Amino acid sequence: MIRRLIVLTSSAILATAGALAMAGPAQAATVDIPFGPLSIGDYCHAQVSTAAWTGFYESSGLRCYASAPGGALQYVGSGDPFLACKYLTTDVVISALRGTANALVCRVIR
């Protein structure tokens, strides 16, 4: 009886180990996540200037703006696009790219 129990238990363990060995590892995917002016503004407000509320990833870099009299935008400082991506997403950031309409595109691994 004990011999039979040992054989059944070892068979179950081997079957489970075989099934786990066949299962492949999870595959990571590279994804582009776009962020607009207000999301960039969250980073600008927290990391560049508390007066900033919007930001753009312009050809000269990531720039932060605050409101000025008459509804105009006033430049208040610059930020790091890669650090902005790290601030805005919890995913593993590969790179920060400039998207259409001066958006920030974060290339991440999920």
**Mean local confidence (pLDDT), 3-12:** 50
> How far is CA 9 from each of CA 2, 18, 19, 109, rounded to the nearest angstrom?
10, 14, 16, 41
Q: Write out pLDDT tens, residues 30-79.
A: 999 999 999 999 999 999 999 999 999 999 999 999 999 998 999 999 99
pLDDT attached to residue 8: 44
pLDDT attached to residue 1: 56
Instruction: Let me know how long the chain is.
Output: 110
Percent of the chain beyond pLDDT 90?
74
> How far is CA 61 from each of CA 16, 57, 84, rounded to the nearest angstrom?
54, 6, 12
